[in-house]
């Protein structure tokens, strides 16, 4: 990677800079397509994957420019360097979407401590670390939007996926506290809290009640991003009511609720 430089002025192509960390994820790409018009889109993802086919649809959606950057979220020491590279190439980051993560293998994680640690590291530790780097970059500018994906899996951790759920519970708490801390700084932190999302990550699993698609999640996220409205957004909104009611009902009923 190049030596970090002072961020360049905004490109002549104009528009905000949108960066999606986890740039090959279904939800991340759906968000990128909705935010593309008039903006520079940077897709950041693990090295080695083929991203060549991702540029044309974003340009067709109206992106002023599309850039690709390699990134290993689990390499915490590289987070600042990657952010430096992006800003030296395209200018200050205006909107950062953290769309990376792993579901992991629950059965393996119960037997192998390293498998459990990998899930917790990617889905909580790496996310919290990157959010911190990005927030510290945006606060002096008094502007910027961060998106950190929580999940209903973290609202009450269940036996079926307690490793993933506990990682999301940790991230949810961290992001909620950070959103409060950012109040008045000009930086907005949006915390989408979707239920079961039908897509590649959950392929082969039975959809839970009130499931959503990546497009539905992206619609809700982009609405909040454009409004610069911080805090949690339940997807779909009915889940908020269900979880409120769940606090009043016996455990056996809770266990049949969405993952």
- Kindly report the pTM of this predicted structure: 0.86
Residue 63 pLDDT grade (very low, low, confident, very high; cuts 50, 70, 90): very high
Per-residue model confidence (pLDDT) at position 251: 56
**Would the pLDDT of 226 be above 80?**
yes
Region 14-42: mean pLDDT is 95
Per-residue model confidence (pLDDT) at position 204: 64
Does residue 126 or residue 201 have the better pLDDT? 126
Per-residue model confidence (pLDDT) at position 176: 97
Per-residue model confidence (pLDDT) at position 195: 76
Per-residue model confidence (pLDDT) at position 5: 38
Per-residue DSSP letters for 135-200?
HHHHGGGT-EEEEE---GGGTS--GGGHHHHHHHHHHHHHHHHHHHHTTTTTEEEEEEEE--B-SG
Q: In whole angstroms, what is the distance from residue 118 CA to residue 109 CA?
A: 9
C-beta separation of 214 from 199 below 8 A: yes
Residue 201 pLDDT grade (very low, low, confident, very high; cuts 50, 70, 90): low
Point out the residues that are catalytic. Answer: 164
Could you give the percent of the chain with pLDDT greater than 70?
81
Phi/psi region, residue 142 (left: phi>0; alpha: psi -120 to 50; beta: rest), is left
Ordered by where they begin, the domains of the chain are 17-256 (3.40.50.720)
Per-residue model confidence (pLDDT) at position 75: 98
Q: In whole angstroms, what is the distance from residue 72 CA to residue 82 CA?
A: 9
**Would the pLDDT of 254 be above 50?**
no
At 97 the three-state DSSP class reads strand
Residue 71 pLDDT grade (very low, low, confident, very high; cuts 50, 70, 90): very high
The overall average pLDDT reported for the chain is: 88
Q: In whole angstroms, what is the distance from residue 119 CA to residue 110 CA?
A: 11
**Would the pLDDT of 3 be above 90?**
no
- Lowest-confidence region among 21-30, 142-151, 185-194, 207-216: 207-216
Please return the burial class of 103, using the count of CB atoms within 10 Å of its CB with bins 0-12, 13-18 and 19+. Answer: middle
- Lowest-confidence region among 39-43, 72-76, 97-101, 208-212: 208-212
Identify the CA nearest to 192 among candidates 154, 226, 229, 151.
151
Per-residue model confidence (pLDDT) at position 158: 87
pLDDT tens figures, 80-111: 999 999 999 999 999 999 999 999 999 999 99
**Would the pLDDT of 256 be above 80?**
no
**Would the pLDDT of 114 be above 80?**
yes
Identify the CA nearest to 51 among candidates 29, 75, 73, 35.
29
- Hey, how many other C-beta atoms are within 10 angstroms of the C-beta on 160? 11
Q: In whole angstroms, what is the distance from residue 56 CA to residue 60 CA?
A: 6
């Amino acid at each position: 990677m190049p030596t970090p430089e002072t961020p360049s002025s905004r490109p002549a192509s104009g528009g905000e800079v949108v960066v999606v960390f986890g740039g090959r994820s279904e939800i991340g790409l759906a968000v990128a397509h909705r935010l593309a018009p008039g903006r520079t889109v940077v897709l950041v993802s693990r090295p080695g994957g083929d991203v060549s086919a991702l540029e044309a649809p974003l340009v067709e959606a109206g992106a002023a420019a599309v850039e690709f950057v390699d990134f290993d979220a689990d390499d915490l020491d590289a987070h600042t360097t990657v952010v430096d590279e992006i800003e030296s190439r395209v200018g200050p980051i205006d909107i950062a979407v953290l769309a990376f993560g792993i579901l992991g293998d629950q059965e393996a994680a119960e037997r192998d401590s390293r498998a459990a640690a990998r899930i917790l590291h990617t889905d909580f530790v790496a996310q919290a670390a990157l959010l911190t780097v990005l927030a510290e970059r945006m606060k002096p500018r008094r502007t910027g939007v961060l998106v950190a994906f929580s999940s209903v899996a973290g609202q009450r951790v269940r036996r079926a996926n307690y490793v993933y759920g506990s990682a999301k519970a940790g991230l949810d708490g961290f992001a909620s506290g950070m959103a409060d801390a950012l109040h008045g700084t000009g930086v907005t932190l949006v915390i989408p809290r979707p239920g079961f999302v039908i897509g590649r990550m959950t392929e082969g699993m039975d959809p839970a009640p009130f499931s959503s698609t990546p497009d539905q999640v992206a619609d809700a996220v982009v609405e909040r991003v454009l409004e610069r409205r911080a805090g949690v957004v339940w997807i779909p909104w009915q889940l908020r009511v269900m979880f409120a009611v769940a606090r009043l009902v016996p455990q056996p009923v809770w266990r049949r609720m969405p993952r």
